[in-house]
Structures are given as structure tokens and as C-alpha cells.
């Protein structure tokens, strides 16, 4: 069955991308987009296409400029090498190997490095050689003061395997969850400062967070993030212009990426797979870290692009990716928290083998939760329980923010186990536009709209959907 589905969906997205590039504008009437205001492009067809992906043009130009930089002139590259004989924090740090005297690499992050970036000049770099660096609860503070033309770069030397280990081990679970406040602000890596690149590392042994972003113009590239009891990366209020690209996330207990109030965040070409559900009895009481959401944008985040990522082999709670949403507990009691996320786009991502553990009516592999002016387009959802969810975000004080002005277009859904294309809360359908999606489900398609479960044709008759097609399965 999966082979047949893959053969059928191997060209549809290429055709549908032409719709997105056509420049057609949508206008509003009452409570939905007026899809009759322009002539629909005649490209909606069933057939094969390449899987969704990303290109260099998806990366904002300032980040491309930063990644192209190589230290020149007076800029220096410094080295750390824990396994190199002769490495010492008394050395000058200017050679990857020990050359005698004080000429050679530093031993670890405990010497002259300090908060990484603050002791260096604009345009300098720090190359870290292979080995495991136990950074403990103090972690590493990455705080460059650089420029777009001359960023500071910290990277794994020549692609060597460099592990930054926070020291958490499974036997520490009870000690952490029963003393959460003592660990909540600890992370392996803290990003501050401006114009920094962090590339090629493995982060493991994380207590609550592996990395926390509060800086600006930061690139987190080609890293592996393993585990944590809360999130792999947390982008917090104040972080701006951040690129998270080409990373691998697995064994996370809650979110792999928790975007909590950032601005202008680009999440491109990452892989999320094989999360974990951590439950253990501590002092006679069960502690459950819950079944998480790999990627969640929330708490007033604005202008976020989630492009060309892969989500696979995951058991998740209600969704694998949430555009919009906020924290579950009292918004009014959290200083600076805005429950409305705006202009979040989930574009050309792939979701495969996703199991939704929740029975929530509006569950979906991809979902809007109270997002305003957001978009879910060009994605492939294959071998999953339900398709796309549209709902409100609600806190424990029963404050509600409904989704508004959501665009759902040009997605391909194949092998949806329940046959449910969309699960839509009626109050969150204000400004909803659904167009040009393709479904390969074998004739069991349905839609939940409010309290009603209806056929796909009946849903189209409501005026929310135009140009979507139910396509035949191969064979």
C-alpha cells in the first residue's frame, strides 16, 4: 500500500507549486477567502511529483552572507582539542595541534574562552576538535559581538565528531522532575549576542533544554540534538533573526523546537524523528513528561518560516507541527506573553509515519492553534492518523484565541489511516481558505467541521475549499 501511494504522489507537488508562483491574489468576503475573484489555474491534477524540499533561495540573504564568510586579514581561528597531547588552557589557542611551548590548542571551555565570543575580535572563529566535552550545568554561553560581514563562528573542526555533554543521565530523572525549579534555567548552550554561527556539534545529556536562544542574527547549523526533558531548542522572547538549518533532533521528551515568542525565525531542512515518552515513579508518585509536539510556534511569535523539514516515525500528542498557539497556563500571569502567533508559514515539509496519541476532535499532523494570518502549504502527509487540524488556543483560565485567516493549500495527503482530511473547529474557520490539495485515500475521505462529520463534497459546498481533488490510488 505504501509503495503504491509513493508512486502516485511522486509529481503532484511540482504541479501545485506552479499555483503558488502564479501570483494570484485572494480577497475576503464575510468569513472566507473569495476564491472566485481570480481564475483558478488549470494545474490541479493527480500524478507523480518529487517530494517537497527547500532551496538556497528559502534562506534569507543575511544568513547566506554570514555562511559565506571565511576569516581573513587580522581575523584569527582559535582551537580547542581535549584529546590533543599538549593541549592546555595556558596555550595561545592558535594551532589545532601542539607545536611546543605555548603554541597549541586550548584544552576545554574552562580557560580563556569564557563566554564564547566575548573574548574574540570581530570575524574570529573557534574550531573545536573531536572528543566529548562535559560542560555540566554551567553549560556554554555563546555570546558573539560581530557583524553580518564578519560573523563569529564556532564549529566542529574538519567535520570531526564533537560532543557537548550536559551530564544528565537517565538515573537523574527523579532528582530533576522533583526539583524542577533548580534545573529549569539550565542548558548545555545559551545563545546571546549577535551575528554568530554554531555548526557541526552533537548536544546530549541535556537536563531541561539543550539550547536556549535569546540572541539575534544567530545560525544553528548541521548539529545533532539528542534528548532533554523539555525541549531541544527554545527560542525565547527577544530572540530575532535566527536560522535553524540542517539539524537532526531525536529522543526529545516534549518539543524538539519550542519557539516561545521569537521574531523572524527560519527553520529549514531539519529532521525530526523518534521522540520518547518518559514516565517514571519517583518517591511513590508517577511523573509523566507527556507525549510531545516536535515543533511548536507560540507565545506571540511573528514571521516564522518552517520550510522543507522532515518529520518521520513519531508518536506525538495532538500534532507534529503547530503553527500558532500558546502556553497552557494563565497567560495573564506570564509577563510579556502574547497568546497570538502571527504570520507563521509551514511550507513544503514532509510528514511520514506519524501516530497521534490524543483523541482531541481537532487533532492533525499539522495544525493551526489560534494562529493569525498563517499558512500551511505544499506539505506531504503520508501514512498518518489524521490530516490537518484547525483549532483555538486555550489556557487554563479558559481564555480563548481562535485561528483567523488561515490558508491551507497545495498539500498532498496519502494513506491517512482514519480518512480524516481536516478537523476544523467552526469558530476557528474565520478567514479560512482551503485550495488545491490532493488526497490519495482510497474512497474513505471525511471532514470534521465543528461537531459534524461530513463528506469531502459536503465540506466543499460550505465554500471553504476550491480546486482540491480526491485522486485514485495506483494499482
pLDDT tens-place string over residues 394-421: 988 888 999 999 999 999 999 999 999 9
Higher pLDDT, 191 or 21: 191
Contacts of 242 (CB under 8 A, 6+ apart): 213, 215, 216, 217, 218, 219, 220, 235, 262, 264, 265, 266
Overall average pLDDT of the 20-46 stretch: 36
pLDDT at 295: 94
Give the per-residue pLDDT at 49.
Answer: 66
Res 39: pLDDT: 36
Q: What does the pLDDT look like over 215-257, one tens digit per residue?
A: 899 999 999 999 888 889 999 888 999 999 999 999 988 899 9
Look at residue 84 and tell me if it is in a domain: no
In Å, the largest CA–CA distance within the chain is: 80
- CA dihedral 366→338→180→356, nearest 10 degrees, is -10
Q: Which residue matches cell numbers 574562552?
A: 113
pTM: 0.89
CATH number for the domain harbouring residue 362: 2.160.20
Query: How large is the average pLDDT for residues 52-71?
Result: 94
What pLDDT was estimated at residue 304?
Answer: 97
Number of domains the chain contains:
1
Q: Report the chain's mean pLDDT, rounded to a whole number.
A: 86
Q: Is residue 86 part of a domain?
A: no
Domain-located, residue 438: yes
Q: What is the pLDDT of residues 110-155, one digit of tens each?
A: 866 655 555 788 899 999 999 999 998 888 888 888 899 999 999 9
How many whole angstroms separate alpha carbon 236 and alpha carbon 223? 20
The predicted structure's pLDDT at residue 118: 56
CA separation for the pair 58, 114 (Å, rounded): 35
The larger pLDDT score, comparing residue 224 to residue 298, is at 224
Query: Is 93 domain-assigned?
Result: no
| Per-residue confidence band for 279, with pLDDT thresholds at 50, 70 and 90 | confident
* 311-320, 414-423, 441-450: range with lowest mean pLDDT: 441-450
Q: How confident is the model at residue 327 (pLDDT cuts 50, 70, 90)?
A: confident
Range of the domain at 293: 2-76+116-470
Residue 207 included in any domain: yes
Residues 39-62 have a mean pLDDT of 72
pLDDT of residue 50: 67
Q: Is the pLDDT of residue 44 over 60?
A: no
**Reported confidence tier of residue 30, pLDDT bands at 50, 70, 90:** very low
Closest of 388, 381, 322, 392 to residue 353, by C-alpha: 381
Amino acid at each position: 500500500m505504501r509503495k503504491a501511494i509513493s508512486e502516485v504522489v511522486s509529481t503532484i507537488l511540482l504541479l501545485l507549486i506552479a499555483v503558488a508562483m502564479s501570483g494570484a491574489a485572494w480577497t475576503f468576503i464575510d468569513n472566507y477567502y473569495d476564491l472566485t475573484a481570480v481564475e483558478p489555474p488549470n494545474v490541479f491534477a493527480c500524478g507523480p511529483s518529487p517530494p517537497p524540499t527547500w532551496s538556497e533561495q528559502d534562506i534569507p540573504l543575511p544568513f547566506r552572507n554570514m555562511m559565506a564568510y571565511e576569516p581573513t586579514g587580522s581575523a584569527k581561528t582559535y582551537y580547542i582539542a581535549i584529546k590533543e597531547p599538549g593541549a592546555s588552557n595556558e596555550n595561545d589557542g592558535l594551532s589545532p595541534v601542539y607545536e611546543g611551548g605555548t603554541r597549541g590548542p586550548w584544552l576545554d571551555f574552562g580557560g580563556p574562552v569564557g563566554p564564547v565570543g566575548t573574548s574574540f575580535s570581530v570575524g574570529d572563529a573557534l574550531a573545536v576538535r573531536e572528543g566529548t566535552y562535559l560542560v555540566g550545568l554551567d553549560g556554554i554561553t555563546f555570546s558573539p559581538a560581530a557583524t553580518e560581514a564578519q560573523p563569529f563562528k564556532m564549529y566542529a573542526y574538519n567535520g570531526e565528531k564533537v560532543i557537548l555533554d550536559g551530564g544528565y543521565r537517565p538515573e537523574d530523572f527523579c532528582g530533576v522532575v522533583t526539583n524542577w525549579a533548580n534545573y529549569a534555567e539550565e542548558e548545555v548552550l545559551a545563545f546571546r549576542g549577535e551575528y554568530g554561527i554554531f555548526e557541526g556539534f552533537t548536544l546530549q545529556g541535556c537536563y531541561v533544554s539543550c539550547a536556549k536562544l535569546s540572541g539575534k542574527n544567530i545560525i544553528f547549523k548541521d548539529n545533532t540534538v539528542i534528548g532533554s526533558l523539555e525541549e531541544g531548542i527554545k527560542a525565547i522572547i527577544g530572540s530575532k533573526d535566527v536560522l535553524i538549518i540542517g539539524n537532526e533532533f531525536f529522543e526529545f521528551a516534549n518539543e524538539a523546537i519550542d519557539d516561545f515568542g521569537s521574531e523572524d525565525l527560519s527553520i529549514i531542512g531539519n529532521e525530526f524523528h523518534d521522540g520518547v515518552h518518559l514516565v517514571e515513579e519517583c518517591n511513590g508518585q508517577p511523573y509523566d513528561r507527556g507525549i510531545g509536539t516536535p515543533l511548536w510556534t507560540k507565545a506571540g511569535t511573528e514571521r516564522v518560516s518552517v520550510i522543507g523539514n522532515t518529520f518521520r516515525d513519531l508518536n506525538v500528542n495532538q500534532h507534529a507541527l503547530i503553527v500558532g498557539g500558546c502556553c497552557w497556563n494563565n497567560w495573564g500571569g506570564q509577563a510579556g506573553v502574547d497568546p497570538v502567533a502571527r504570520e507563521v508559514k509551514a511550507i513544503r515539509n514532509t510528514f511520514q509515519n506519524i501516530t497521534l496519541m490524543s483523541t482531541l476532535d481537532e487533532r492533525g499532523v499539522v495544525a493551526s492553534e489560534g494562529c493569525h494570518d498563517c499558512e500551511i502549504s505544499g506539505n506531504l502527509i503520508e501514512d498518518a492518523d489524521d490530516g490537518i487540524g484547525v483549532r483555538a488556543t486555550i489556557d487554563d483560565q479558559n481564555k480563548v484565541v481562535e485561528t483567523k485567516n488561515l490558508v491551507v493549500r497545495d498539500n498532498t495527503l496519502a494513506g491517512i489511516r482514519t480518512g480524516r482530511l481536516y478537523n476544523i473547529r467552526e469558530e476557528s474557520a474565520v478567514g479560512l481558505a482551503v485550495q488545491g490539495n490532493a488526497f490519495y485515500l482510497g474512497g474513505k475521505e471525511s471532514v470534521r467541521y465543528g461537531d459534524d462529520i461530513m463528506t469531502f463534497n459536503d465540506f466543499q459546498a460550505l465554500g471553504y475549499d476550491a480546486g482540491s481533488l480526491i485522486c485514485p490510488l495506483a494499482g
